[in-house]
Homo-oligomer: A and B are copies of this chain.
């Protein structure tokens, strides 16, 4: 197993001004290629911090990948630091100088001395030519450890990783095949799930499969991982067999795989079956419509929603029956179902969803915060589910939205 460490250089990461998406992107690529990322660190752009981080990482990993601190400005000191660390002399790289000159000429911008200096490279590294920008990547090797430095601009780093770094890594190291499989569940808590699949989980070790639980509001992802224990085919077969067993145990909770979302799964089902969708939202306030329309091409099946946030809008615009509202109150299963049926007929769709309840953060009219009814109306009739959630408004809105979409999904099975 080849271990890698990622070091992201930049104060903006430490003060939280920039979220470190580079490390996640690199982690995905490395992991998919059979390199295990053991640690990812963000450090300040100071010489000492960089030297210490590279030195520490080199003790633990065979591959150390740095991003950031290679720009033309004063505060970018990575190249100088690495020169000192690897005992390099800086020399002009003619190909880089030509490229940088051309880069500025093409944009009609003046080329400054600081830009010229970007063509200076350490004499004991392999230059990784950056065709997306002016700062080159650098590949050093010392005591069997490979240290690669790349710019921090995401699309420049991504270019260098894909075109220059990974092909060299594949040549330089023996890489095993790593297989992951992610199974998405909804409507069941992490601990309840763990209890249900305990016996199954106990058998995974024998197949050298590692299981991870990844919870997020209203859903838990289960990820099986096999790290090079056998050929790629053997590993895939073992994981597929375990997946089949798992689906027999908790199949009812599984709504998707890999990068699916509840809205993408519902979109796919509706599109495949040539069915249309609309909705009436009260407490979710447009979130379901937003989740659906975040899917590219959702206009193929989604007609629209009524966000009826006031009693007046429910009566006059959606057309809810006033006596039903008085009899059952707005916080009821009957009103949720009636809202779904009204949306279905108003928008003339096959399916419609509806929500009503108390999103929070406090109780309303004696109804406990987090009490939310989600309903659907469709070709097979209407269904309603009452949710008892917590007092976090954002979380309740998201969980209720996904629960409503899940009702539609389940209607297909």
Contact = CB atoms under 8 A, between A and B. Distances in A.
A387 B13 CA distance: 31
Nearest to A214: B12
Interface stretch (A85-93, A164-172, A234-242, A289-297): A289-297
A285 B296 contact: no
A41 B44 contact: no
Q: Which one of A194, A215, A285, A286 has the highest number of Cβ atoms from chain B below 10 Å of its Cβ? A: A286
A27 B118 CA distance: 31
Contacts of A29: 16
A306 interface: yes
7 contacts: A16-B31, A20-B23, A40-B41, A71-B190, A294-B397, A306-B307, A317-B346
A153 B309 CA distance: 30
Contacts of A329: none
Interface string A51-74: 001001000000000000001111
Contacts of A214: 12, 17-18
Interface string A17-58: 111110111111101000011111111100001000100100
Interface stretch (A104-112, A136-144, A248-256, A375-383): A104-112
A313 interface: yes
Interface of A: 11-21, 23-29, 31, 36-44, 49, 53, 56, 71-75, 106-110, 112, 114-115, 132, 153, 155, 180, 182, 189-192, 194-195, 201, 210-215, 223, 225, 278, 281, 284-290, 292-294, 296, 298-299, 302-310, 312-313, 316-317, 346-348, 359-361, 388, 390, 392-395, 397
B190 A73 contact: yes
A192 B17 CA distance: 20
A26 to B, nearest CB: 7
Copies of this protein in the assembly total 2
B41 A13 contact: no
A263 B14 CA distance: 26
A347 B20 contact: no
B41 A14 contact: no
Q: Which one of A180, A201, A390 has the highest number of Cβ atoms from chain B below 10 Å of its Cβ? A: A390
Given A19-B19, A19-B24, A73-B191, 19 more contacts: A13-B24, A13-B40, A14-B37, A14-B40, A18-B24, A19-B21, A38-B43, A39-B44, A71-B190, A71-B215, A75-B211, A75-B213, A112-B191, A114-B195, A285-B298, A286-B287, A286-B307, A304-B307, A316-B346
B299 A310 contact: yes
A201 B74 contact: yes
Contacts of A286: 281, 286-290, 292-293, 305, 307
